[in-house]
């Protein structure tokens, strides 16, 4: 029997399989959050007089026991049970009898799923925040350590101007500060309580939704019961947008790494234990980790669009395709965490070549420096530009000066302390539950 069945009519196996889909698989990730929601809900039911105190004590004890089973890895969904909500109610009913049947008063599976997702996404966003912050700290550390090591800068993949590893690492650190802003927005959306909205239209029971908000440590309440359900899909999409932004940063960083490892560049290397070889070419050291980070992160960037299309043109109210958000977003969250972890593992062991720009092939990186030298001597910029351009054309260009970059954000003034202040301000916005 399903929670929604009124009699013992047998449900078609094909209908069952199609409508449940992969929910059972992903529901295990929601198990502890479903129990937490039930603990808050039943505490509220007892407070408003809808659940006798003695029964609440028994229910609370068994729910806490189920939490322990989940933590120990001994919890599972029975084969004939539809979802996590059914499993927990079944376990309570088996252990407590009629008292277990009372926990659903004043709520629907719709708001159960909604609160589970909010709690899950809030926790996962915090994990991703911590992982991204670890990468950020490493990038700033590497930027400061290698600030004096020069690196060719490119535009259109052509030699442009001198850069540095300090500037390069710092660029991706600052990129993460913007990504974190989006992650904070998604966190604030996930940190709202939909419990008590029922199927989207509230309840005639005198529910105390402010109490469950406090018990679940939510930052605020989804006040309108219809919008509480409409936030399904929207919350997931905002989380996906934040993941997509981090993924774009990681993907671009990975592409740079793959280029800089190439023998034609030869700017950086990694230990053999972190690279792979070829079955036929004994000289190969392949950047497989960064190629996979690039591929996974490019795929993550498609997730917001997939969620937007899934939810397109839906009227208000609950619709069954909303359950598909789990199989779209949950694997992306795991991929995001893995990519951040692997990026830290790899970059912590990077080796950077010294004196890269001493190679004569990079001499044209200094044409702008020579133009600026002439301008400092009083020559108009356009005349200086033309003079240096003719030297390049004639093969007589040479630069013997020194680099002197001092403005904010240049190779001589990385502003890493300021970037760190920006990140600290953003991360302080995450109110930990």
| CATH number of the domain encompassing residue 267 | 1.20.200.10
Q: Which two tokens stand for residue 15?
A: 């209908």
Q: Do 265 and 367 share a domain, yes or no?
A: no
Return the H-helix or E-strand segment holding 159.
strand 158-164
Residue 6 confidence class, pLDDT cut points 50, 70, 90: low
Is residue 402 included in any domain, yes or no? no
Q: Dihedrals φ, ψ of 286, to 5°?
A: -90, 140
Is residue 155 included in any domain, yes or no? no
Which residues make Cβ contacts (< 8 Å) with residue 259, sequence separation at least 6? 265
Q: Please state the rounded mean pLDDT for residues 409-429.
A: 96
- Mean pLDDT is lowest, of 80-94, 159-173, 236-250, 365-379, for 80-94
Q: Do 99 and 143 share a domain, yes or no?
A: no
Quote the CA–CA distance of 133 and 131 in Å, as a whole number. 5
pLDDT value at 5 more than 80: no
Q: Do 367 and 305 share a domain, yes or no?
A: no
Which residues in 372-415 belong to E strands, given as ranges?
none
Catalytic residue ranges? 156, 278
Residue 14 confidence class, pLDDT cut points 50, 70, 90: confident
SS3 85: helix
User: Domain end: 41, 72, 105, which one?
Assistant: 105
Residue 107 confidence class, pLDDT cut points 50, 70, 90: very high
Residue 1 confidence class, pLDDT cut points 50, 70, 90: very low
Return the H-helix or E-strand segment holding 154.
strand 150-155
**For the range 354-358, what are the long-range contacts, defined as Cβ-Cβ under 8 Å and sequence gap of 24 or more?**
354/149, 356/149, 356/150, 356/151, 356/152, 356/267, 357/150, 357/151, 357/152, 357/162
Contact (CB, 8 A) for 264 and 217 = no
What is the reported pLDDT for 201? 94
What is the reported pLDDT for 4? 44
Is residue 193 included in any domain, yes or no? yes
What is the reported pLDDT for 247? 98
- Count of Cβ atoms closer than 10 Å to residue 10 Cβ: 7
Quote the CA–CA distance of 17 and 76 in Å, as a whole number. 18
**For the range 312-315, what are the long-range contacts, defined as Cβ-Cβ under 8 Å and sequence gap of 24 or more?**
314/233
Domain count of the fold of the chain: 3
Helical packing angle, 165-190 and 109-145, nearest 10°:
160
Give the pLDDT confidence of 27-36 residue by residue, as tens digits. 899 999 999 9
Q: Residue 381: which domain range?
A: 360-394
Q: Do 335 and 374 share a domain, yes or no?
A: no
Contact (CB, 8 A) for 411 and 418 = no
Q: Do 229 and 269 share a domain, yes or no?
A: yes
Is residue 154 included in any domain, yes or no? no
Q: Do 310 and 372 share a domain, yes or no?
A: no
Kindly report the average pLDDT of the chain as a whole number: 93
pLDDT value at 187 more than 80: yes
CATH code for the domain in which residue 32 is found:
1.10.275.10
pLDDT value at 84 more than 80: yes
Alpha helices per DSSP H over 262-380: 288-300, 303-311, 324-347, 367-376
Q: Do 307 and 367 share a domain, yes or no?
A: no
Give the pLDDT confidence of 344-386 residue by residue, as tens digits. 999 999 999 999 999 999 999 999 999 999 999 999 999 999 9
User: Domain end: 41, 76, 105, which one?
Assistant: 105
Residue 165 confidence class, pLDDT cut points 50, 70, 90: very high
Residues facing 268 on adjacent strands: 352
Is residue 407 included in any domain, yes or no? no
Residues facing 162 on adjacent strands: 152
Sign of CA dihedral 99, 100, 101, 103: positive
Is residue 90 included in any domain, yes or no? yes
Q: Do 127 and 249 share a domain, yes or no?
A: yes
Q: Do 52 and 25 share a domain, yes or no?
A: yes
Only one residue has tokens 């989804």, namely 222
Q: Do 342 and 379 share a domain, yes or no?
A: no
What is the reported pLDDT for 3? 53
Residues in the chain, overall count: 433
Only one residue has tokens 């029997």, namely 1
pTM equals 0.92
Is residue 20 included in any domain, yes or no? yes
Q: Do 190 and 283 share a domain, yes or no?
A: yes
Is residue 68 included in any domain, yes or no? yes
Query: Shortest CA distance to 180 belongs to which of 125, 254, 140, 236?
Result: 125
Residues facing 352 on adjacent strands: 268
Q: Which two tokens stand for residue 177?
A: 């500060």
pLDDT value at 16 more than 70: no
Contact (CB, 8 A) for 300 and 249 = no
Sign of CA dihedral 35, 39, 45, 50: positive
Q: Is 161 exposed, middle or buried (0-12, 13-18, 19+ CB in 10 A)?
A: middle
Alpha helices per DSSP H over 6-108: 13-20, 23-47, 53-72, 84-96
Q: Do 144 and 49 share a domain, yes or no?
A: no
Quote the CA–CA distance of 103 and 39 in Å, as a whole number. 9
């Amino acid at each position: 029997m399903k929670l929604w069945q009124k009699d013992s009519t047998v449900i078609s196996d094909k209908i069952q399989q199609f409508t449940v889909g992969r929910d059972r698989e992903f529901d295990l990730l929601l198990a502890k959050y479903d129990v937490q929601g039930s603990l808050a809900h039943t505490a509220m039911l007892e407070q408003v007089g809808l659940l006798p105190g003695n029964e609440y004590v028994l229910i609370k004890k068994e729910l806490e026991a189920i939490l322990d089973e989940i933590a120990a890895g001994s919890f599972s969904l029975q084969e004939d049970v539809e979802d996590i909500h059914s499993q927990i109610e079944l376990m309570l009913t088996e252990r407590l009898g009629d008292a277990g049947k009372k926990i659903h008063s004043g709520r629907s599976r719709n708001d159960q799923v909604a609160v589970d997702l909010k709690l899950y996404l809030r926790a996962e966003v915090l994990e991703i925040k911590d992982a991204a912050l670890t990468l950020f700290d490493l990038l700033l550390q590497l930027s400061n350590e290698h600030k004096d090591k020069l690196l060719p800068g490119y535009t259109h993949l052509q030699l442009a101007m001198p850069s540095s590893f300090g500037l390069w690492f710092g660029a991706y650190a600052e990129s993460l500060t913007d990504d974190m802003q989006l992650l904070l927005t998604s966190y604030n959306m996930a940190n709202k309580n939909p419990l008590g909205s029922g199927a989207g239209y509230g309840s005639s029971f005198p529910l105390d939704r402010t109490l469950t908000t406090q018990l679940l440590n939510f930052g605020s309440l989804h006040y309108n019961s219809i919008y509480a359900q409409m936030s399904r899909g929207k919350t997931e999409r905002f989380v996906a947008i934040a993941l997509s932004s981090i993924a774009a940063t990681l993907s671009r960083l990975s592409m740079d790494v793959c280029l800089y490892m190439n023998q034609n560049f030869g700017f950086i290397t990694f230990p053999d234990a972190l690279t792979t070889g070829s079955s036929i070419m004994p000289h190969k050291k392949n950047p497989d980790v960064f190629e996979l980070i690039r591929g996974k992160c490019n795929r993550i960037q498609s997730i917001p669009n997939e969620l937007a299309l899934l939810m397109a043109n839906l009227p208000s109210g609950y619709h069954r395709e909303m359950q598909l958000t789990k199989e779209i977003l949950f694997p992306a969250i795991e991929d995001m965490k893995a990519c951040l972890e692997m990026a830290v593992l790899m970059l912590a062991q990077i080796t950077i070549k010294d004196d890269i720009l001493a190679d004569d092939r990079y001499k044209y990186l200094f044409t702008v420096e020579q133009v600026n030298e002439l301008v400092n001597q009083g020559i108009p910029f356009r005349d200086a530009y033309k003079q240096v351009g003719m030297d390049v054309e004639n093969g007589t260009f040479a630069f013997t000066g020194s680099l002197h970059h001092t403005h904010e954000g240049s190779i001589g003034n990385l502003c890493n302390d300021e970037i760190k202040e920006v990140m600290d301000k953003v991360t302080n916005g995450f109110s930990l539950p």
